[in-house]
Amino acid sequence: MRFAVVSFPGSNCDDDCVRVATEVLGETAWKVRHDERDLRRPDVVLLPGGFSYGDYLRCGAIASLSPVMEAVAAFARAGGPVLGICNGFQVLTESHLLPGALLRNAGLKFICEDAHVRVDGRPTPFTAGVQGVLRLPIAHNEGRYHADADTLARLEGEGRVVFRYCGPDGTVSDAFNPNGASANIAGICNEGGNVVGMMPHPERNAEPLLGNGQGRALFDAALRLVGGAR
Amino acid sequence: MKPPYTPEIIRQHGLTADEYARVERLIGRAPTWPELGVFSVLWSEHCAYKSSRVHLRRLPTTGPKVIQGPGENAGVIDAGDGWAVVFKMESHNHPSYIEPYQGAATGVGGILRDVFTMGARPVALLDALRFGRPDHPKTPHLVEGVVHGIGGYGNCVGVPTVGGDAMFDASYDGNILVNAMAVGVARADRIFLGRAEGVGNPVFYVGSKTGRDGIHGATMASEEFGEDSESRRPTVQVGDPFTEKLLIEACLEVMGEDLLVGIQDMGAAGLTSSSCEMASRSGSGLHLKLEAVPVRESNMTPYELLLSESQERMLMVCERGREQRLIDIVTRWGLDVCEVGTVTDTGRFVCSWHGEVVVDVPVAALVDDAPKYERPMRAATTPPAVGEVPVPADLGATLVQLLARPSIASKRWIYRQYDHMVRTGTALRPGDGDAAVVRLPETRRGIAMSVGCNGRQCALDPRVGAALAVYEAAINVACVGARPTAITDCLNFASPERPEVMWQLSQAIDGIAEACRALDTPVVSGNVSLYNETEGRGIHPTPMIGMVGLMDDVATVRGAAFPSADLAVVLVGGAAPVLGGSEYLLLATGELAGPPPAFDAAQARATIETLLAAHADGLVLSAHDCSEGGLAVALAECCFGRDVGAAIAVVGEGRDDVMLFGEAQGRVVVATDRPDALLAVAAKHGVPAAILGRTGGDRLRVRCAERTLIDAPVAELRRGWATALEEMLR
Amino acid sequence: MKGRVTVRLKPDVLDVEGKAVSGALARLGFDDAHGVRVGKVFEVELGDVDPAVARERLEAMARKLLANPVMETFSVEVE
């Protein structure tokens, strides 16, 4: 399978995404620079974490205006699977490929630790066949998902909340909400289900050395989907 | 400004009358205004090591694993399979006290540049912090700012902050310590040096534009604080981690091709020190055209351009003919790049300004002829011996109190704010083991790192305290399963103009040398920070040690927490604990009294070898060394990680509190499923070891003969330990 | 009485955010935008007080908390 990993100035998880695709999954991956307009025919596009343009102005705002994002939007419109991780999620909301916004954490501090997330909602290319609770690292300062009441109702109604912060047993409550996100939302998808944004980092727990390897499930899901379509 | 200069002007440049006379003698005339500035920064304590240099020579700096020792931007060791590990630690103490966020942030930026200047990809950061007493009114503000600044920079630049150390003591009330260590990896045959070679080769300026940031920062870092220092601020240096990230990528891309002769970052004393150091190492000269330097403020003078400490800038010497490729790469990363001069064979540092020569002095006068002092030394008065300490009636309550001391308590509040996982190589995260471990990319190997120093022990006996700091860092690395290989150090002391302080510095260097020789861990890089004192009150001598260890298989790392129930708990190492300098003594009496624990070089070496042999045989399931708070605190910490209790029986004849809370060198709590084999390994190395008990249950129980000393639920012990830092900052 | 405190970086302090925004504007074709500097505005409700008193209070707030005197300057308006 072919992964395109978009690299903005200040992206710092682009190498990590490439590494998971190639070294862990044994697939093909390449980076696409912010000023390129050709994604070079990938099966999946990954928008990695990091601090595109230093997170200055608003996280993801300057990156969302990059030339490469026109190509990403076209790929998404055509139904191509897109996963935005952390800063990649922020870029997707700033690009209006996903609704809502990511605000400063309720505790006003950067948080780096493992969180538990429950896989919820409708199946997506990255969650189809993935069930239960995953332990995934979070590392962000602006991860508090926010949307107006109508949007939240629509997301819930359409099964578009795909990850929710929870306890180890799947309990969703304020006690397990690390950043104050609305309805414990850790990740959502678009109407078509092919564009997914999430704050946790599945690529940081895709092999046992780095935790329990549960993050790999998302990439395996994409592999099954694209493999199946062929 | 033109000569003659008033004594006041000369003093403001940090030069004594004698030193100024030496300048005139060396160049045969009065210096121009920019030349005065250049001498001022290059002859500062910070750049010239003028008080410490004669002593630093006594440190062991060579060994089979050493590729590059002190003298370059960072040290380099051989990591096997053609890889090298590049690392250095540096202080940013004074700037962090004045503007904690930017001071700490630019400290991280600076040490990263030292490492990627060598051609290495930075893979880990660590920070050793010292703050004043927890209830000092400035402490919360400084802690918040420094931690925020380290996170703000390190997180953005995409290098994981994997470890560190924080202690609180009244001696740092007016002078905090922010010591940052960066570790990078490179191919061993692709190490770049700070050289300006090849007459006619062009010199390029790369990175951010120059402003008036931190002019005279290097001289400021060499002066003790006075009442007015908080108002006498130079323009604060502002760090831009976004630009640094681009600079890392641009530099590594440039260094991936054969374009460069040499490269040096512009750190303290900016353009001046970077260019002079490069020329000095190569015995060459440089001619800089200052009007070519990219600026972001108007009307900057040659003096300002030479002394500016604007961040995120590099100086590169390019092969003549390959300039365009360099320019193309750097421009593609959105950074400024322009030719600012050429390498000459004159041995002189020449700067012109629109055709007019404004600086023309021998490089040797600036670097080699900088003053070196054999400052007078006098042994500091021996601190009082430990006096009367009543044995507490409730040892369990004392343990709870000790665990909640900010120096001992969980540092989660700090490291939660640092991205410690980016680059997907962190095999042992902060808080999980005695050392941090990252994977050596593209291999199965691991790099283990630990930083620390107990300033109280050094105040009591600087030689022993410094040796113990090396030893503890080595033990930490050995606990996780890596072989201690080399160190970097950051020697933080008060004013060298006081003979007692000079003596402390000299003694500490001897202590480091002794321990490094015993453990085969040479010093490959380092930094000296003097004048850490305010109104005559100095910090505890704090020779911070950053240890790097190597392991063949990163998957075999071991954490500090008891992994499960029904394992034997073994104490390896048998030195007798003492109260001198201990956290417990400070808690009980509020006083610093000695003597500190002893250092036994032969036992230190044998203990490390025991641990490594036990790891190799798969006998170690967890390992944690006893440091501040002694055996009882170490046992409690082993219980916390995975909520596994233990039933322990200690054997001893002395006082219960000394047995539980006293401190000693090199005692390690190991959990194992084959205790007899572990005891045999220890015996073979001549290291005392004893089975203390077993893991299991949800309580920590410690008894001695028939007496129960401690019996408390793990959850209860953890509470204060987990929240103390947050409570302190509230 | 409503007050407004505007906090800016001192002119000679590097504005890293402004630098990034300038670059982004230029890439969008706003190449006439040079030297963007980013500041903060605090709007403060002060109740029924004399404008001179309000101004004094706002200045005190700025000095004590809203601005960092090491790197920032501020200005105060009341309406």
Q: CATH number of the domain that A70 lies in?
A: 3.40.50.880
Rounded to whole angstroms, the Cα distance separating B529 from B130 reads 14
Any residues with CB less than 8 A from the CB of B184 and at least 6 apart, and which?
B74, B85, B86, B87, B115, B116, B118, B120, B121, B122, B123
Reference B657, options B605, B547, B583; nearest CA is B583
| C38 CA: distance to closest CA in chain A (Å) | 9
Residue tagged active-site, from B55, B92, B287, B615: B92
Rounded to whole angstroms, the Cα distance separating B664 from B628 reads 9
The verdict on a CB contact (< 8 Å) between C16 and A54 is yes
Rounded to whole angstroms, the Cα distance separating B90 from B127 reads 10
Phi, psi of B390 (to 5 degrees): -70, 140
Q: How far is CA B703 from CA B569, B598, B620, B669, in A?
A: 14, 26, 24, 16
Q: How far is CA B434 from CA B360, B482, B615, B617, in A?
A: 52, 11, 14, 20
Cis-peptide into B4, omega within 30 deg: yes
Q: What is the pLDDT of residues B649-703, one digit of tens each?
A: 998 888 999 999 999 999 999 999 999 999 999 999 999 999 999 999 999 999 9
Question: Which residue has tokens 């920019």?
Answer: B34
Q: CB-based contact (8 Å) between B156 and chain C? A: no
Strand partners, B569: B671, B693
The verdict on a CB contact (< 8 Å) between A139 and B423 is no
The verdict on a CB contact (< 8 Å) between C70 and B243 is no
- The pLDDT of residue B235 is 67
Tell me if the pTM is above 0.80.
yes
Q: Which amino acid is residue B304, in one-letter code?
A: E
Rounded to whole angstroms, the Cα distance separating B408 from B165 reads 10
- Give the Cα-Cα-Cα angle B413, B417, B421 (nearest 5 degrees): 115
Helix (H) or strand (E) holding B66: strand B66-68
The tally of domains found in chain A comes to 1
* DSSP-derived secondary structure for B648-677: EEE--SS-HHHHHH-B-SS-EEEEES-HHH
E strands present in C1-79: 2-9, 40-45, 72-78
Partner residue opposite A53 with nearest CB, options C20, C28, C38: C20
| Per-position pLDDT tens, chain C of length 79 | 899 999 999 888 889 899 889 988 988 899 888 889 999 999 999 988 999 999 999 999 999 889 988 888 999 999 8
The verdict on a CB contact (< 8 Å) between C14 and B240 is yes
* DSSP-derived secondary structure for B6-56: PHHHHHHTT--HHHHHHHHHHHTSPPPHHHHHHHHHHTSHHHH-TTTHHHH
Residues of A annotated as catalytic (active site), given as ranges? 86, 201, 203
Q: CB-based contact (8 Å) between B369 and chain C? A: no
Domain that includes residue A110, residue range: 2-229
Q: Tokens in use for B168?
A: 């609180």
- Please provide the distance, in angstroms rounded to a whole number, between the alpha carbons at the two ends of chain C: 6
Rounded to whole angstroms, the Cα distance separating C21 from C9 reads 15
The verdict on a CB contact (< 8 Å) between A10 and B156 is yes
Burial category of B91 from C-beta neighbours within 10 Å (exposed 0-12, middle 13-18, buried 19 and up): buried
Rounded mean pLDDT of chain B?
A: 95
Distance of CA B394 to the CA centre of its chain: 38
ipTM surpassing 0.95: yes
Residue tagged active-site, from B13, B46, B55, B685: B46
Any residues with CB less than 8 A from the CB of B29 and at least 6 apart, and which?
none
Contact B435, B480 (CB under 8 A): yes
Question: Which residue has tokens 């609704």?
Answer: A99
Q: Within 10 Å of residue B24's Cβ, how many Cβ atoms?
A: 12
Half-sphere exposure of B614 (CA within 13 A, CB side): 38
Residue of B nearest to A87 (CA): B156
> What's the alpha-carbon Rg for chain C, to the nearest Å?
16
- The pLDDT of residue C13 is 84
Q: What is the pLDDT of residues B471-530, one digit of tens each?
A: 999 999 999 999 999 999 999 999 999 999 999 999 999 999 999 999 999 999 999 999
Rounded to whole angstroms, the Cα distance separating B392 from B250 reads 60
Divide the 730 residues of chain B into consecutive groups of 10 and give the mean pLDDT of each group: 90 94 97 95 93 97 97 96 97 95 97 98 98 96 97 98 97 98 97 94 97 70 54 70 98 96 91 95 97 93 94 96 97 96 97 98 96 96 91 97 98 98 97 97 95 98 98 98 98 97 98 98 97 95 98 97 98 94 96 95 97 98 97 98 97 91 96 98 98 98 95 97 94
Q: Which residues of C touch A53 (CB under 8 A)?
A: 20, 24
